[in-house]
């Protein structure tokens, strides 16, 4: 990916995750308080980078434990047990804590402090990842900055031009139902390729 991991330090993954669990860098901005949610084990072959936890994820401590997760798993062609097998699938948000809601009732963007602070060290502990799914515009813009001028739809449609080992995807929220109807190429061309790559690594 464009933003590289740091070289592994002497800090173990367990030590890093323990330190992350105590992070309070943006606590004053979080209406429900800090509760970092992620799924990282060094043996993972697939990495999912998304936006930030919603309220249900905050409550349960399980990434994509909602309808958007059901849709993402359907896109990938995997069941819940496979998705939550951290030996095979890693899941990280662009922020690890629920950011709150905006004036229109939607979730706020991921806190900007999180990814540059934690991602490089975490990625250094994921040496076996062969496929990274950039799920949603925040992850796409951060890890594919050269496509910032394009819309999310244009970027996903040009998935064949993405760097090796990376697939950009829309966020699988309820809004994607209408988006899929407007973009039939997504299910016709990208979903089969996504499922093929996922199956090859699981």
Measure the CA–CA gap between 34 and 156, rounded to whole angstroms.
Answer: 32
pLDDT tens digits, 115-147 = 999 999 999 999 999 999 999 999 999 999 877
Nearest Cα to 17, choosing from 135, 126, 130? 126
- pLDDT of amino acid 11: 81
- Average pLDDT on 68-77 reads 96
Q: Which of 177 and 121 is assigned the larger pLDDT?
A: 121
- pLDDT of amino acid 3: 58
Neighbour count for residue 138 (Cβ, 10 Å): 22
Of 31-35, 112-116, 136-140, least confident by mean pLDDT is: 31-35
Res 106 pLDDT > 90: no
Res 60 pLDDT > 90: no
Contact at 8 Å (CB) between 61 and 67? no
Confidence category of residue 1, pLDDT binned at 50, 70, 90: low
Contact at 8 Å (CB) between 120 and 35? no
Q: Which of 191 and 145 is assigned the larger pLDDT?
A: 191
- pLDDT of amino acid 96: 94
- Average pLDDT on 85-100 reads 94
DSSP secondary structure string, 95-143?
SSS---B-TTSSBPPPPTTHHHHHHHHHHTT-TT--EEEEESHHHHHHH
Measure the CA–CA gap between 132 and 153, rounded to whole angstroms.
Answer: 18
Contact at 8 Å (CB) between 36 and 57? no
Domains in the chain: ranges and CATH = 13-201 (3.40.470.10)
- pLDDT of amino acid 92: 96
Tell me the pLDDT of the chain averaged across its residues.
90
Res 4 pLDDT > 60: no
Contact at 8 Å (CB) between 126 and 47? yes
């Amino acid at each position: 990916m464009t933003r590289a991991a740091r070289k592994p330090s002497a800090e173990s993954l367990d030590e890093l995750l323990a330190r992350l669990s105590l992070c309070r860098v943006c606590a004053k901005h979080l209406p429900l308080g800090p509760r970092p949610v992620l799924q990282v084990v060094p043996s993972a072959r697939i990495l999912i980078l998304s936006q930030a936890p919603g309220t249900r994820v905050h409550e349960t401590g399980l990434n994509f434990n909602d309808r958007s997760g059901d849709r993402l798993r359907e896109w990938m062609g995997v069941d819940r047990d496979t998705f939550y097998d951290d030996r095979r699938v890693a899941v990280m948000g662009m922020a690890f804590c629920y950011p709150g809601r905006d004036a229109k009732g939607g979730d706020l963007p991921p806190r900007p402090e999180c990814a540059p602070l934690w991602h490089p060290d975490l990625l250094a502990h994921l040496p076996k990842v062969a496929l990274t799914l950039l799920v949603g515009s925040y992850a796409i813009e951060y890890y594919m900055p050269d496509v910032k001028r394009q819309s999310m739809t244009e970027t996903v449609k040009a998935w064949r031009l993405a760097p090796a080992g990376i697939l950009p995807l829309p966020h699988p929220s309820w809004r994607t139902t209408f988006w899929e109807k407007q973009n039939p190429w997504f299910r016709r061309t990208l979903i089969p390729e996504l499922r093929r790559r996922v199956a090859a690594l699981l």
